[in-house]
Amino acid sequence: MEILLLQIFIPLIAALVILLSGKTIVKGLAGVLSLVSLAITIYLYLNFIPDASTQFLVDLAWIPQFGIHFKAGVDGISMVLLLLTNLLIPIIILSSYKHDIKNVTAFYALIFFMQTGLLLVFTALDGFLFYIGWEAALIPVYFICALWGGENRIKVNLKFFIYTIAGSLLMLLAIIYLHLQTPGNSYDIAEFYKLELDSVTQAWIFWAFFIAFAIKMPVFPFHTWQPDTYTEAPTAGTMLLSGIMLKMGIYGVIRWLIPVAPLGFDAWGETALILSVIGVVYASIIAFTQNDIKRLIAYSSIAHVGLISAGIFAWNLQGLQGAMIQMLNHGINVVGMFFIADILIRRMNTREMTQMGGIAKPAPILAITFLIVLLGTVALPLTNGFVGEFLLLMGVYNHNIWLSAISGLTIIFGAVYMLRMYQKVMLGPVNSSTAIFKDLDGTEKSVLLLISALVILIGVYPQPILHISEAAVINLLDQVNQKILVK
């Protein structure tokens, strides 16, 4: 019990420590404190029994007169998300060391505050607590983007905030309604799962949850906030949004949406699947036209997340297991890609790929690590992306062969626009700007070598991740399928 509370609240304590610390030590201190959370996650992972049970359970009466409990726990699905969050936060903090950040204590404190919100979302077993975590993760990243973003950050951030708040309010209405339907007016997820609501009610609950989660992921047509926000946000903000925060939406679909409204899913899941597949093709086609390196990676992310979403709504073991491992892989790969983009933008003072070229010659270590991360992103066999995308495509294939064929275009399209990007940036003749390009230095090298190692390691041996989530995924599939069959 105590260990999970420690896991959730250590980042909050870290945020307070950072705010009280001096500017001279804050970067090193932030790095050390982020490793404490990772150490606790490793302890949880090593002591986790990979069955369908919920472990490290915390259940404290929080506001008992309203049926609100601080109830949190970890199963195989949550465990993967804890690994993702607490692995990427130290990498994101390390990647920010080269930036001259104004008000650096507030910057790192907001990252840790956001981490607490994320961990609440991924462990909450109470609807009210889940919503608190959902909003607690949104507020810090809003300020990170608004205070340290680009020239158009205020306008872009307002759009992002309106989108996410609108979705959150719909979800809150659904949570309150479900709370009022439970026998003892509880927010407990187990009580939500037991509800036997009619198909019409479940349909609107499905859409209330789906819109909130689809905005966060984002899934077509709820994606329009994403490219501008990713482009204008500071690199750490973009990494937080793309690497971890969008996984809140994917996790929400798996944990809350489909098990709570199985009949709504049965009626509308195919529509959600088709929207996901449309997003794969649509985002890939737009990525072809991009000359701005950050926008290209942003559209690439929409395409990859569309495939994850399609795998979930296919609702079979391969699709769900593919989604679980690809959440981790996508987080690692997209953080790596945005960090490489950040290095290029800082060195070249431009995001336009046409002004780059020939960088591989003066920067061979960057060229090699860039290629490894890129190959993981385009799902080359023996890289992490291949494992996830293979399972996702198999899951969609088992559901519908034609949708699988269309979804598979993401690999072909992705290879084309990603390799073209590499060609424009790294190959060809050097120009006056790229001839003096400096190769990776200390922290940059550490970040990209670590990410490259993860790309290869998970690609060669994905079993530890797949094994830990398998029992929980099978249990969830069985629960939902039984309810759909009973109707």
At residue 115, the pLDDT reads 93
**What b/e readout covers 70-94, taking b as 16+ CB neighbours within 10 angstroms?**
bbbbbbbbbbbbbbbbbbbbbbbbb
At residue 176, the pLDDT reads 92
At residue 460, the pLDDT reads 92
Instruction: Name the DSSP letter for residue 312.
Output: H
Question: Sign of dihedral through CA atoms 263, 264, 270, 272?
Answer: negative
Q: Is the peptide bond before 11 cis (omega within 30 degrees of 0)?
A: no
Mean pLDDT of 438-464: 89
Angle at 155 between CA 93 and CA 94, to 5 degrees: 5
pTM of the model: 0.90
Is the per-residue pLDDT at 433 higher than 80? no
Q: Give the C-alpha distances (Å, rounded to integers) separating 163 from 186, 216, 483.
A: 28, 9, 32
Q: List, for residues 22-59, the tens digit of each pLDDT value.
A: 777 888 888 889 999 999 999 999 999 888 888 898 88
Mean pLDDT of 295-324: 90
Q: Are 294 and 338 in contact (CB under 8 A)?
A: yes
Q: Are 301 and 230 in contact (CB under 8 A)?
A: yes
Is the per-residue pLDDT at 424 higher than 90? no
Number of other CB atoms surrounding residue 142 within 10 Å: 20
Is the per-residue pLDDT at 102 higher than 90? no
Cα–Cα distance for residue pair 96/443, rounded to 1 Å: 9
